[in-house]
Structure 1
Amino acid sequence: MAQTFARRYRLTKTDEFSSVFGFRKAIRGKLLMLHYQPRAEGFTEPRLGLVVGKKLLKKAVDRNRVKRIVREQFRCLRESLPACDLIVRLAVKPSSLDGKLLAGDFVALLDRLRRPKPKRDE
């Protein structure tokens, strides 16, 4: 397995982010929010975008740490993910920046993404 976070696994353009946010599908965890959109036919790899605003984490070192933790989990689990564009953002201001808690929250969100949605009978 590659030890890098190659460019083809990243969302880089504003249009790509807007498209995922515009699709309006999201899963909320304890700390993180996962926005997702299935990729077009012919694309088999998931891509990741990260949004960690100054509003929730003032220090750049803290914002970068969140991104690093999420990227690492994505890199490790990438093979098992569906072909989706994913955007991870901080949903709440963490009281303390616990790496294990962040990583666990992200992994739990990915597990929920992989599970098929139960159909509601109305």
Structure 2
Amino acid sequence: MTTRQICTLPRQCKLRKADEFRAVLRNRIVFESLSLRLYVKPIDVDYARIGLIVAKRVERKAVRRNRIKRLIREAFRRHRQMLMGLDCVMQLRHPVELLDSTRIYQEAVMLFNKAARQL
């Protein structure tokens, strides 16, 4: 019998309430790439949290919106160590092709790196 390592994002690492999102968006520390925008707010805890905004207006199909969110969540999960003490909200700015999933992932990682270096 093999054991499979569970690679999930802990519940404490997700922004879920509107007030939490609002606080990060009001802070106005923003990093942008071609298709993504990252809002960041320093917090007093020893872990990082993320919230995702993928509007129906930007990406019509739910399958694509969910795929984009999964890719960004995975990038965050793998790089959250360098984002300790930050609340992050990632927003999709423009529609993207699903074939560009590696580009979405790379842009998310680039924005996380940029935020970690500057804060």
Q: Within 2, Cα distance between the matches of 1:2 and 1:27?
A: 31
Q: Using the aligned pairs only, state the percent identity.
A: 33
In 2, the alpha carbon distance for the partners of 1:17 and 1:116 equals 21
Structure 1 residue 84 and structure 2 residue 89: aligned? no
102, 107, 113: which is aligned to 1:111? 113
Alpha-carbon RMSD across the aligned residues, in angstroms, is: 1.5
Mind listing any 5+ residue stretches in structure 2 that lack a counterpart? none
Structure 1 unmatched ranges of 5 or more: 118-122
The structure richer in helix per residue is: 2
Q: Are 2:64 and 1:62 aligned?
A: yes
What's 1:31 paired with? Answer: 35
**Segments of 4+ moved more than 6 angstroms:** none
Moved more, 20-29 or 75-84: 75-84
User: Of residues 89, 99, 102 in structure 1, which corresponds to 2:101?
Assistant: 99
What are the superposed Cα offsets for residues 5-58 of structure 1, whole Å, 9 maximum, x if unpaired?
111000011100000011111101111000010003xx1100000000000110
Q: In the alignment, what sits opposite 1:49?
A: 51
SS of the equivalent of 2:91 reads strand
Give TM-score, length-normalised by structure 1. 0.88
When the two structures are aligned, how many residues end up with a matched partner? 114
SS of 1:76's partner is helix
State the TM-score, normalizing by the size of structure 2: 0.90
